[in-house]
């Protein structure tokens, strides 16, 4: 790892705004891991943009001391793609929830993986819609009972890592919010890796999924080493219990190349095409 020219601590990346989250929400830990990772990466806060959609998790930009954009529900990846292509010099972090990222924003997820723009996508997966007070999300178990879907949705859970891999993401990992050290390290790796990096962070919703407090006992590091071979990564995913953590895949696909620059080309040359 390069020795950063500036030495920062996570405080330099943390704002003075008090989060709205419930006490004990996993997202506090995610915020801590992100700010620690950014400090370790060594770029100043003004060169980082944190982009999000809507949800408890998506509140995170304002809690950092970076540039932030809290957009509309589900469209954070598009907002971030526009920003990164227009401003390739920035480090772009996209933060989402499982509803925001996989349900209303599901289509953008596929195409962001395909497009492979150099940015890091972190989804705080709590397998529930927190902000709207407890409805099933795409990653919720089929038999999870709720007012909106009594007796459960009956639907097969969405597999974010499988989809990311199949859609062309260049870096795929899973972490647990409570494991701050390894989450921080994985975020550092994700940001440093060129192209589209996807990190699913299991982040308990203590209010609507109190059962998820057990996650800290259930998660375990993956028994298989990370790989740059998609076939091997796919095999590991086949035996995934949804609880194994660590880096799964680190691809070698060249990232999307932005051609936007500060140079101003000659508009007259464009206009000549219309002259007869």
Partner 1 sequence: MTTPPIAKKSVSISIAGAGGAGAMTAGGILLEAAGKSGWYGMMNRSVGPQIRGGEAAALLRLANHPVECMSEGFDLLIAIDWKNASRFAAEMPLKKTGLVIADPSAGDVPDAITAYGAEVIEVEIKKLAKSVPGGRENMVAAGLAAGFIGLSEDFLMEIINAKLARKGDAAVESSRLCLEAGLKAAAEIARNFEIGAADMKNKGRWLITGNEAVGLGAIRGGVRYAAAYPITPATEVLEWLSPALAKIGGALVQAEDELSSINMAIGASYGGRPSITATSGPGLSLMMESLGLAAAAEVPVVVVDVMRCGPSTGIATKSEQSDLNIAVYGFHGDAPHVVCAPLSVADCLYTGQWAVHLAEAMQVPVIVLSDQSLGQARVLMKRPVNLSFLANRKVYKQQSDEPYMRYAITADGVSPMAIPGTPGGQYTADGLTHSVRGTPSTQRSDQQNQMDKRHRKVADFDYGIHWGEVSGVGEELVILTWGSITAPAKEAIRTLNSEGIDVKLVAMRLISPFPKDALLEALQGAKRILIVEQTHAGQFHSYLRANCDLPGEIRQFHRPGPHLISATEITSQIRDWAQS
Ligand X SMILES: Cc1ncc(C[n+]2csc(CCOP(=O)(O)OP(=O)(O)O)c2C)c(N)n1
8 A C-beta contact, residue 130 and residue 97: yes
**Residue 62 interacts with partner 1 (CB under 8 A): yes or no:** yes
Euclidean distance between CA atoms 81 and 97, whole angstroms: 18
Strand spans (E) along 213-259: 220-221, 244-250
Q: How far is the CB of 203 from partner 1 (least distance, A)?
A: 20
In what helix (H) or strand (E) does residue 202 lie, and over which residues does it extend? strand 196-202
d(CA 52, CA 69): 6
Which tokens go with 266?
A: 């000659």
Identify the residue whose tokens are 């040359």: 269
Binding mask 116-155 for ligand X (x = CB under 6 A): --------x-x-xxxxx----x------------------
Q: Which of 156, 172, 152 is nearest to 237 (CA)?
A: 172
Does 99 contact ligand X by CB under 6 A?
yes
* Count of other CB atoms within 10 angstroms of residue 89: 8
Selected range binding ligand SF4 among 20-28, 38-46, 77-85, 165-173, rule: CB under 6 A: 20-28
Q: Which is nearer to ligand X, 41 or 128 (CB)?
A: 128
- Which member of 45, 99, 138, 168 binds partner 1 (CB under 8 A)? 45
- Using CB under 6 A as the binding rule, whether residue 31 contacts ligand SF4 is answered as no
95 within 8 A of 61, measured Cβ to Cβ? yes
Please state the closest distance from residue 62 (CB atom) to partner 1, in A: 4
Residues of this chain that bind ligand SF4 (CB under 6 A):
21-22, 25, 27, 56, 126, 130, 205-208
Residues of this chain that bind partner 1 (CB under 8 A):
17, 20, 44-47, 49-51, 59, 61-62, 65-72, 74-75, 77-87, 89-90, 107-108, 110-111, 258-267, 269-271, 274-276
């Amino acid at each position: 790892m390069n020795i950063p020219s500036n030495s920062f601590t996570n405080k330099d990346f943390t704002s003075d705004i008090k989060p709205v989250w419930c006490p004990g929400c996993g997202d506090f830990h995610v915020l801590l891991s992100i700010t620690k990772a950014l400090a370790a990466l060594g770029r100043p806060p003004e060169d980082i943009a944190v982009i999000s959609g809507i949800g408890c998790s998506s509140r995170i930009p304002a809690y950092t001391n970076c540039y932030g954009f809290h957009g509309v529900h589900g469209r954070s990846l598009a907002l971030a793609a526009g920003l990164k292509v227009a401003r390739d010099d920035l480090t772009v972090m996209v933060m989402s929830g499982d509803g925001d990222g996989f349900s209303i924003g599901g289509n953008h997820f596929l195409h962001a993986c395909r497009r492979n723009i150099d940015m890091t996508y972190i989804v705080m997966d709590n397998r529930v819609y927190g902000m709207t007070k407890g409805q099933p999300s795409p990653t919720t178990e089929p038999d999870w009972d709720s007012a909106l879907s009594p007796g459960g949705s009956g639907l097969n859970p969405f597999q974010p890592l499988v989809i990311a891999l199949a859609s062309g993401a260049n870096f795929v990992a899973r972490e647990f919010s409570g494991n701050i050290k390894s989450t921080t390290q994985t975020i550092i790796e994700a940001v440093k890796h060129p192209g589209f990096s996807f990190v699913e962070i299991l982040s308990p919703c203590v209010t609507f999924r109190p059962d998820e407090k057990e996650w800290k006992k259930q998660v375990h590091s993956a028994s298989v080493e990370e790989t740059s071979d998609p076939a091997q990564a796919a095999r590991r995913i086949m035996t995934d219990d949804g609880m194994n953590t660590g880096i799964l895949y680190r691809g070698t696909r060249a990232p999307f190349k932005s051609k936007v620059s500060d140079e101003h080309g000659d508009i007259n040359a464009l206009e000549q095409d219309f002259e007869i």
